[in-house]
Amino acid sequence: MIDEAVLEFSAGSLTLLNAILAVVMFSIAIDLKPQDFKALARAPKPLVVGLVSQFVVLPVLTFLMVLAVQPQASVALGLILVAACPGGNISNFITHRAGGNAALSVSMTGVATVGAIVLTPLNIAFWGSLYGPSAEILRATEIDPVRIAVTVGLMLVLPLVLGVTLNTKRPEVTRRLRKPLQWLSMAIFVGFVAVALAANWTQFLTYAGSIIGLVVLHNALALGGGYATAWVTGLSAFDRRSVTIETGIQNSGLGLVLIFGFFGGLGGMAVVAAMWGIWHAISGIALASVMSRTEAAR
């Protein structure tokens, strides 16, 4: 049974994944300057809409999906946990490819990452406790929101601060580092996930078939919810593309860290996060190729 399956992931591997995600976050942060946040403070509507879409609309849609489908406990909690994570590290690249507002996307990733210190553990605990089967897992694991907040802070917020600081003090250095570091960090991350999957390939294949449909549906809800939220609130097509992609591309790497660090590598949760990591890249790039055929009105 998937609720009882546990994927193998050593403490050393978890430390390595933490370090990789920190490098990925740093590579995003060196695109940011303090004035980017000041500009959004003067015209905050697109950023606020994006954050509401990510941390309110997506968790609500996820919970309604869980109620409708009634998946097994660990799968349901995996979906809820992924929905509680901030935007994924490839969202900025995909937004740029889609012809959307890349500056808004990078800023959303940065602000959402800081907000995730509080909002990620809060959403996991709140929505997970409302679905009976997943509530039992939460009670059994005695999840500590403070420890999750510290993990998120050290792994994502610290590299964000360091990256913004370096870009402010030594822009010539970050200009040289930007492209190579982004490609290198993504390549290392993809390679690491591939190795982790290979070590658990038999179990992954056993359960992936029953979960892929849920992941595809969940991702479609995320993209659709992001677009609908941006459209209803009157954002321009340029900003709508950013909010749509930022909502549909979740930080599944962070999800894996939390699953192996706090839930013991519970099978259903881990397979959901791993499948998300694969599928959201495919769907995001496909959507970007469609969007890029027409120029977005600003």
Average pLDDT along the chain, 298 residues, taken 10 residues at a time: 54 67 77 71 86 96 96 93 87 84 82 85 92 87 71 77 86 82 73 67 70 94 97 94 94 82 79 85 90 83
Quote the pLDDT of residue 126: 94
Give CA separation, 58 vs 83, 121, 254, 255, in Å: 6, 15, 17, 15
Which ranges of 131-200 does DSSP label H, i.e. alpha helix? Answer: 132-141, 145-152, 158-169, 171-199
User: Using an 8 Å Cβ cutoff, are 183 and 24 in contact?
Assistant: no
**3-state SS class at 250:** strand
Say how far apart CA 63 and CA 79 lie, in whole Å: 9
Quote the pLDDT of residue 75: 92
Residue 222, CB half-sphere, CA atoms under 13 Å: how many? Answer: 34
Say how far apart CA 133 and CA 142 lie, in whole Å: 15
DSSP assignment string, 193-230: HHHHHHHTHHHHHHHHHHHHHHHHHHHHHHHHHHHHHH
DSSP assignment string, 69-124: H---HHHHHHHHHHHHS-B-TTHHHHHHHHTS-HHHHHHHHHHHHHHHHHHHHHHH
**3-state SS class at 266:** strand
Give CA separation, 130 vs 55, 68, 119, in Å: 17, 14, 16
DSSP letter, residue 297:
P
Say how far apart CA 222 and CA 243 lie, in whole Å: 10
Quote the pLDDT of residue 76: 94
Question: Which domains does the chain carry?
Answer: 11-291 (1.20.1530.20)
Cα 238 from chain centroid (whole Å) = 21
Which position has the token pair 């839930």? 263
